[in-house]
A and B are shown apart, each in its own frame.
Chain A
Amino acid sequence: MTTSDVVGSPTASQPAPPPPPGQRPAWVEPDDGSSGLAHGGGDQGDRVFRALTAAASVFVLLIMAALAAFLVYRAVPALAANTANFATEQRWSPDADQPRFGVAAALYFTLLTSMIAVVLAVPVAVGVALFITYLAPRRVSEGMGYLVELLAAVPSIVYGLWGFTVLAPNLAGLVSWLDRWFGWTIVLRYRPDNEPNSYSPLAAGIVLAIMILPIISSLSREVFRRVPREQVEAALGLGATRWEMIWMTVLPVGRAGVTSASLLGLGRALAETLAVTMVLSTAYNLTVHITESGGVTLASIIVLKYGEAGEVGTGALVAAGLCLFVITLAVNFVARMILARQKVG
């Protein structure tokens, strides 16, 4: 892999592959010269232009190949130097004489905060999508959709600031309340004696939920819009109430779409960096008590540790990034598979 593959002018550095043979749409005449009359001198230009677009496509493939290759290339030496099990070690001290680091804590909190986010966001997002599609007055429904999508335009660092200054401190009442009434679930128990200052997985999960809400709701709206109108009208015509209509015609059709939208939202939540970093106070011990402060995620560990990382430390962070990449890749892949199957069926 050379420099030019990564940064150089995309079009100049790639050898153009010969255009692969194949069928073309019926309305295109062959450009092999057999219809020279129609195409005049265009053949040469067409070949060049087509090669140019193909080269740009190859360039995209090369970027992704380089991304994977460079991450693996930097991660492997660090993983080899690691004296602890990468998957089960909780601590992160890769630059010690005996490097010990692992993603157990980061992986656990990444999945935990993202799951909290999805559990909170999906019902609300589906509700919003149904509200905008079937309940809101037609004149304002577009504006309402736009309003919710504005949430996606707020940068993640602003969510982080807000979560740190406004949300987390104000969760104290909720945390005490949950502890009092739902402490028996263990998950919601708050053990420390001090006044709760919840820089906790729960706070991070709530911030993430707000962030992934717009993507889930806008994808769900797309799905609900595709529900056959005849079925909706038939249900209403048979005397169903509006909710019965939604329950019996809209939701069954939309189930696969909503599932894949939720998974895409999960992918976003897993990858989110700054908001979580700022809300969660750093700690490496595993705990099931989601209202207690502390935790670290795969993405936040990179931002927190890159400044002090040495040779092995950088490799370790790259390994954490690789781990994150593989997880999001898998989640997105499953989501797109569900969508694709839905379209065929």
Chain B
Amino acid sequence: MDTIDALALARIQFGLNIAFHILFPAITIALAWILVYLRVMVARTGEAAWLATYRLWVKIFALSFAMGVVSGITMSFQFGTNWPGFMNSVGNVAGPLLAYEVLTAFFLEATFLGVMLFGMNRVPGWLHLASAVLVALGTSLSAFWILALNSWMQTPAGQVYDGATLIAGDWWQILFNPSFRYRFTHMMLASGLTAAFVVAGLSAWRLLNEASDIGARRTLRVGIVIAAVLAPLQIFVGDLHGLNTLEHQPAKIAAIEAIWKTGKGVPLVLFALPNATTQTNDYAIEVPKLASLVLKHDAEAELQGIDAFAPDAPPVAPVFFAFRIMVGMGLAMLALAWFGLWATRRGALPARPVLWAYAGFTFAGWIATVAGWIVTEVGRQPWLVTGVLRTAEAAGPVREAALGASLTAYILTYALMLLAYIVVLTHMAGAGSEGAQGPARALAMQAAT
């Protein structure tokens, strides 16, 4: 690429924004439900230690939520500024889905988060617990609408044309389009794993400073158990999702597996440097016939290569590498979670190297989530909405200079925010849940609930 044009800048800017944004919902969607669990434990035991743990994690949640809110507001503007063609051509389908997300989810979570954060001493216990549930419900509803839209962009269904205008024919088909249930489950599990590793990682970080912190020992176990259950489920669902993609978006699978030419008995490429110029793989390490066997359950089956879709084929290298990063992280998380299950059995405190491993894996879910997002979004190119709208057709008339200036402003702001977020999170977790709460506090708490 010798010149960076406006389309490339618009894509980099939007891609950067959406990748930055997804980091925070990936944590908060599942962390909201973990908070419901912590809040229930506070109500059931009335213990000061549970209350302190809840208080620590609700702060971490609020911080992550605020990061998601402000980067999300930016996105609602960038739909118009960067992709005016998107709303002009498919707005009659995409618009209502976005509107429903705002109406049903955003107000719910934002309002009850206020009650959850500041209202513990102002509303009855049951109402405070209900607020925690409503916040969690809001975050999940938001994921529902946005994944319905993304799945529709991947595998459109239910739309019809009124003259030249694309409109919704059947909302049920649009919402529950062919890839929705796989993608939604995959994303919810990804959020569960991301949040579980954040919880386990920050708890391990605390235990490295203060091994006697009972709250941190509990949340370490909570994170590990959730990860140990969800990691194998995610691998299973991921496989189903892949088979669904093979059926509806075979070009994406060709890019994931770096299959350049259509053929029978296709080998599985474990590692290679995909070469777009020669349309071959350099330095390939392959297992003969395995791709055919895995994808079609038949070693001799035919698989379509990039050549079957050119020129409407996605770039191979980024999809190929991102997929391997995602799967690699998934397997490492599975191994660490199951090992942790054993290392924390019957309330045992894991050895320091194990705690360091968890601390190091705090944001492992982010890497897997962003890699997975690159696979699915880059794998859809050159389409913005598969078979309906090309990415190039949706770009706006904003000048390169304006895009360049705003991109710089966004990068600086995001870098500052991300740095501050990670520093504050590790600092807060390292300091623990604000010391031992006296018994008087616990009683006051019981009276309040």
Q: Do the two chains bind?
A: no
Interface residues of chain B, those whose CB is within 8 Å of chain A, are none
